[in-house]
């Protein structure tokens, strides 16, 4: 799979969005004309591709680590015993 220009722009945006002024969701809408949820769907698919890794391995590894941490945290929260004394 070869990356499109938009795919590359998304990965480049993830590398440096924090240096721009404004909320990330607003920047996503302005730059890509995408809702934040659609943007993250595309990004999540991208980080699993070899082409994205070849384009920017540092960003892809960082995003994979963050995603894996979130998944582990959700799994641990679901597996935690529920305290029956809590109303």
Specify the pTM.
Answer: 0.79
In the structure encoding, which two tokens stand for residue 42, read together?
Answer: 């595309």
Distance in angstroms (rounded) separating the CA atoms of residues 8 and 75: 31
Domain boundaries, the chain: 13-76
Q: What is the pLDDT of residues 49-78, one digit of tens each?
A: 999 999 999 999 999 999 999 888 888 888
Give the CA-trace dihedral at 79, 80, 84, 86, to 10 degrees: -130
pLDDT tens track for 19-50: 888 899 999 999 999 999 999 999 999 999 99
- Whether the CB-CB separation of 55 and 11 falls below 8 Å is answered with yes
């Amino acid at each position: 799979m070869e990356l499109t220009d938009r795919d590359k722009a998304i990965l480049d945006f993830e590398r440096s969005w924090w240096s721009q002024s404004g909320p990330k969701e607003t920047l996503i809408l302005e730059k890509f004309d995408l809702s934040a949820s659609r943007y993250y769907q595309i990004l999540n698919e991208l980080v699993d591709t070899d082409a994205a890794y070849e384009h920017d391995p540092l960003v892809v590894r960082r995003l994979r680590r963050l995603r894996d941490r979130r998944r582990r945290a959700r799994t641990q929260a679901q597996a935690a015993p529920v305290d029956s004394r809590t109303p």
